[in-house]
Structure 1
């Protein structure tokens, strides 16, 4: 096989992530490509605004510029052990290995935190005609300026769409 044909054949490969250096400006991986071929310092390109730190054993698609194995870059990394499944066509999600999920679903936006969800901002606005706190089907909760009969605790006027379980 000619040298050129060999370089073309080795331009794109599949590998297994062994180590991750997340301290660098561009994440660097140690990737095992062919049997007994380990590449250190493989730069990982990620989409702007989205980043992750893969576990060892994740799979990578590696491109070697000009077919030179000494200049490998990872263009995709995925981990079949944690990939979120069951999305409907057109849905999008962010997820991690613990089960935390931000899902842009067909019916609703879902944020699932396995321990807690924390929102930090100078101002948070919730605009909705129907708010359930804790779970659906709870008791009505009075809002500021709702009239409440203090002897019975019944909301006299205002929204009955804010509930708490």
Structure 2
């Protein structure tokens, strides 16, 4: 019976209203969720820094979700999120959801911010809300404004 239930679960699609990931489950279980679940609100709060966390972060853009809260407050001593939160990963997250809540990010370039701005205004991105708690680096914001022709002094 367990094998049959496992087979049914592994091949069935399902909807989850809210999913919070707070422990580093095996990447295979997260991969199974990414493959089968449609999630309305996904919240990820991993503590520490190990290789399985990095694998889980890399699976986020493959998941089908609407709202994402990536809580990085516990990572101020961790280097993993700082290593992967660069333009490519940031843009992949934004293209995967309609609403993204994230804490301060430091490695995002003005070009990535401009790409988000351009994609949102053209309607080629489903993202409608981007909330960065703590904000971006002031230099990145000023460079973005200059990039679109606004002088900020």
Normalising by the smaller structure, the TM-score range is under 0.3
Q: Normalising by structure 1, what TM-score?
A: 0.25
User: Which protein has the bigger strand share?
Assistant: 1
Query: If each structure's helix is expressed as a fraction of its own residues, which one has the higher value?
Result: 2
Normalised by the size of structure 2, how large is the TM-score? 0.26
> Larger RCO: Structure 1 or Structure 2 (Cα < 8 Å, ≥ 6 residues apart)?
2
